[in-house]
Amino acid sequence: MARIQVEGNGRATAAPDEIDLQLTVGAVATEYGTVLEDLNRKVGRLKDAFVACGVKRTAVKTEDFRVTVDTEYDENRRDRFIGYRGSHQMAVRFPLDRTLLNALLAECPGSEATPDIAITFRTNNTEALQRMALEDAFAAARKSAEILARSSGCTLGDLVEVLYGERRHPTTLTYRVNQDWGQVDYCKVSYADEIEPEEIESSEKVSVTWELRH
């Protein structure tokens, strides 16, 4: 019996409803212990400021912590010890709330921590979004198969096989403010008002095979 195999591409979008705020605090010193103390002080003050805005201290999670040796080349092109460079990367997730985001960003310059900042907008129901994209992909495959079958004087028969293609997880833009670029001054009360997040997008691809009936 003749068969027809068709690929379908599906897409679904949703407005973001969550914010991931990532903050990286840095410290540099010639003494190892001084770097650790400096990081601890900066992070502590930043957390205190966030708590004052209504964020639970335990909601600020550590994602990465490291201290590395800092070197540079001397006149003989040999590594010369400069000191130690430390970084503490944290993240806090909360429902999309521009007022809270503005308040947290406004605390970054005044806390002495001057962190690098990344703001990622998300949806808290990625499974539903992926399911809608998958349903859209299958519907697109069936529509194309029906057109091709009708054009050849046939109709679709039983479903034979369904194969997944490449999956793209829901994505959106991440907005960054890096203290090394001199942009920390932008962390003001109205900062988040100028950010308009894109919709979260999920896409799916399926390959579907049907029997053809003459």
Structural domain ending residue among the three candidates 122, 148, 177: 122
Q: What mean pLDDT do residues 111-130 have? A: 88
| In a shared domain, residues 185 and 195 | yes
- Report the mean per-residue pLDDT for the chain: 86
pLDDT tens-digit series, residues 60-109: 999 999 999 988 877 777 788 889 999 999 999 999 998 899 889 888 87
| In a shared domain, residues 23 and 63 | yes
Residue 24 has pLDDT above 70, yes or no: yes
Which residue's structure tokens are 């068969």?
3
Number of domains in the chain: 2
- Of 12-21, 48-57, 81-90, 108-117, the poorest mean pLDDT is in 108-117
CATH code of the domain in which 155 resides: 3.30.110.170
10 touches 135 (CB < 8 A) = yes
Structural domain ending residue among the three candidates 65, 100, 122: 122
| In a shared domain, residues 64 and 105 | yes
Q: What mean pLDDT do residues 109-113 have? A: 77
DSSP codes joined into one string, the chain? --EEEEEEEEEEEE---EEEEEEEEEEEESSHHHHHHHHHHHHHHHHHHHHHTT--GGGSEEEEEEEEEEEEE-TTS-EEEEEEEEEEEEEEEEE--HHHHHHHHHHHHHTS---EEEEEEE-S-HHHHHHHHHHHHHHHHHHHHHHHHHHTT-EEEEEEEEEE---EEEE--EEEE-GGGT-GGG-STTGGGG--PPPEEEEEEEEEEEEEE-
| In a shared domain, residues 74 and 166 | no
Integer CA distances (angstroms), 46 to 32, 60, 115, 186, in order = 22, 10, 9, 17
φ, ψ for residue 103, nearest 5 deg: -65, -40
pLDDT confidence bin for 188, thresholds 50/70/90: very low
Joined together, the tokens standing for residue 191 give 């900062």
| In a shared domain, residues 37 and 59 | yes
pLDDT confidence bin for 167, thresholds 50/70/90: low
pLDDT confidence bin for 181, thresholds 50/70/90: very low
| In a shared domain, residues 22 and 66 | yes
| In a shared domain, residues 87 and 116 | yes
For residue 168, the model assigns a pLDDT of 56
84 touches 67 (CB < 8 A) = yes
Residue 169 has pLDDT above 60, yes or no: no
Integer CA distances (angstroms), 1 to 118, 154, 156, in order = 56, 12, 12
Q: Record the pTM.
A: 0.72
Range of the domain at 104: 18-122
| In a shared domain, residues 12 and 96 | no
CATH code of the domain in which 61 resides: 3.30.70.2970
Joined together, the tokens standing for residue 5 give 């195999």
For residue 186, the model assigns a pLDDT of 40
Structural domain ending residue among the three candidates 122, 152, 168: 122
| In a shared domain, residues 210 and 199 | yes
